[in-house]
Amino acid sequence: MNHLSSQEKAKPFRLVKYFAFISLISIFLGTIALSLLNTHWARRMHLKKSEDYALLLVANLNHQIVSQFFIPMARKFRKIQLRDKEQFDLLDKVVRSTLHSFKIDTVNIYDMNNIISYSFNPDLVGKKDVGGTAYQNAKRGRSTSKLTQSGNFWELFVGIPKVSKIITFAPLRATKPLSTISGPVGGVIEIVQDLSGDYKTIFRFQIFVVGTGAAVMGILFITLTFVVRKGENIIQQRALERMKLREELSRAEHLSSLGEMIAGVSHEIRNPLGIIKSSAELLRKKQSEKNSSTTIPEVIVEEADRLNNIITDFLNFAKPRSPNFTLCQVEEVLGKNISFYSSQIDDQNCSITKRFEQNLPKIMADADMLYQAFLNILINAMQAMPEGGEISIKTKSNDNGVTIFFEDDGEGISDDAFEKIWTPFYTTKEKGTGLGLGMVKNIIGAHGGEVYVENRPQGGARVGITLPIKQEGSSWKPS
């Protein structure tokens, strides 16, 4: 079971976190910038349109005043005097009928002495020198417009002033009807348009732009976050795979060099060990002929056999053979294990419970190698219960393969042991070699299967093995 180091766990690269943080800031700033730019452009366009609109109104009003007021009054009275009620009422009628239905707040007409001769507001008539610079420019023939806004600080800050007006000063010229030639300046017209409603409309447009932009960018953000999260998972998975491959490569190199050394030493030990065992058996035979009660030769033979088994384990671990795949039945292999080890299990005051699934499919495997792997697990389970207990063996199958569970009633595995459980030569037993589970993993891996070890919630340990189902004659080979 491979474990990442604590340093590698502590500093993972969180792509989604950085992407989300940067994207949210970018989307927020982008939405605000887009809103401000759109609002700025909309206000500029509206202001320019209002200025042009005011000049068109002035031109139309100028034409109507000349054709419907100046000419008739000049013919009738020979002189224009707005103090005369008839003339003032006629001018007021012409102005109001011309500007009817237009959003005009105020109209003032100045004479050449900067005196208001006509106004929508009667109180302003007769006022002098209120036109300012704009009046002087219009008197010289140049039209000007100025935007004025009023309201509290927040109304002006967010762009919805309480009152917004555009004031336009334009020359009033005496032109002939249907003539394209501008006549002399005879006065100045001041038109005040109320744009308060238009600016509120622009503000609502700004809110709509912000909301739409935020919604679109939010959808884009969610989509990109999903894509980036998927990419991050792929990156992490590949990083874990690379780390696992590095660990396996390092372990393989270590075991390769260790295996060569073990194989050489084991061969050198096995030869003199065979001589010792043969000599001890010969000595035991001679002593038995003399009816000697000594057990020393028997002890030598017994320990020689144990040492030979250890050397065999070393050789099997150092130079594992390739599986000879044939069709085999998992429950038959398990049955042989139980039969072979039944006497030792009974002596240890242990029992075995079998829960085999009916009609388990056959698998392509090396029965002898599986027998060795299952036997190692049974030995570990029995050794984990020195006072006796129950060993449970369960099997089940699905489309992915056949799974075998070995469970015991021992004390389980400590956290420290979990970190080293697959490490060669690591053991917690006095007479163990630490190669049992390593051999199990090698054998199951050679079959393309998986093996894991875990503690049971109710106590004890569980070993799970999954072997793939492959049909006879298939071209499959374990990776």
Q: Scanning the structure block, which residue is given the tokens 């696992």?
A: 244
5 against 262, higher pLDDT: 262
User: What number is the average pLDDT over the span 127-154?
Assistant: 84
Q: How far apart are CA 247 and CA 269, in angstroms?
A: 32
3-state secondary structure of 130: coil
Q: Which CATH number fits domain 9-206: 3.40.710.10, 3.30.450.20, 1.20.1250.20, 3.30.2020.30?
A: 3.30.450.20
Return the higher-pLDDT residue of 403 and 254. Answer: 403
Distance of CA 359 to the CA centre of its chain: 45
CA atoms within a 13 Å half-sphere pointing along the CA-CB vector of 429: 16
Q: What is the pLDDT of residue 178?
A: 47
| C-alpha to C-alpha distance for 454 and 460, rounded to whole angstroms | 9
Helix 196-289 / helix 15-65 crossing angle, nearest 10 deg: 170
How does pLDDT run across 448-457, given as a tens digit for each residue?
899 989 988 8
- Whole-angstrom distance, CA of residue 455 vs CA of residue 417: 12
Distance of alpha carbon 12 from alpha carbon 30, whole angstroms: 30
Q: Across residues 186-214, what is the average pLDDT?
A: 80
pLDDT band at 11 (very low <50, low <70, confident <90, very high): very low
pLDDT of residue 263: 62
pLDDT of residue 479 exceeding 50: no
The CATH class for the domain spanning 321-467 reads alpha beta
Rounded (5°) CA angle 401-404-409: 160
Query: Which carries the bigger pLDDT value, residue 304 or residue 11?
Result: 304
Give the separation between CA 210 and CA 227, rounded to whole angstroms.
25
State the residue for tokens 């012409």. 94
Instruction: Please say if the pLDDT value at position 145 is more than 50.
Output: yes
**Helix 367-383 / helix 436-446 crossing angle, nearest 10 deg:** 150
Q: Is the pLDDT of residue 84 over 70?
A: yes
pLDDT at residue 7 in the model = 43
Segment 27-72, tens digit of pLDDT: 778 777 777 777 777 777 877 887 887 888 888 888 888 877 777 7
* CB-based contact 467:402 (threshold 8 Å): yes
Contact 363, 470 (CB under 8 A): yes
Give the pLDDT of residue 463: 92
pLDDT digits (tens, 9 = 90+) for 262-295: 666 666 666 666 777 777 777 777 766 665 555 6
pLDDT band at 406 (very low <50, low <70, confident <90, very high): very high
pLDDT at 394: 93
Average model confidence (pLDDT) for the chain? Answer: 77
More confident residue, 461 or 75: 461
Tracing tokens 């309201």 back to the chain, one arrives at 151
Q: What are phi and psi of 211, to 5 degrees?
A: -65, -45
- pLDDT at position 405: 94
Q: Express as a percent the part of the chain with pLDDT over 90.
A: 4
What is the distance between the terminal CA atoms of the chain, rounded to a whole angstrom? 18
Answer yes or no: is pLDDT of 3 > 50: no
pLDDT per position as a tens digit, 159-193: 677 788 888 898 888 765 544 546 788 788 888 88
Element holding 168 (H helix, E strand): strand 163-173
Q: For residues 203 and 357, which has the higher predicted lDDT (pLDDT)?
A: 357
Question: Would you place residue 393 in the very low, low, confident or very high pLDDT band (cuts 50, 70, 90)?
Answer: very high
Would you kindly state where each structural domain of the chain is located, as residue ranges? 9-206, 321-467
pLDDT at 474 over 60: no
In the sheet with 185-194, reading across from the earlier edge strand, the strands are 116-119, 104-110, 185-194, 163-173, 144-150
* Higher pLDDT among residues 168 and 17, named by residue: 168
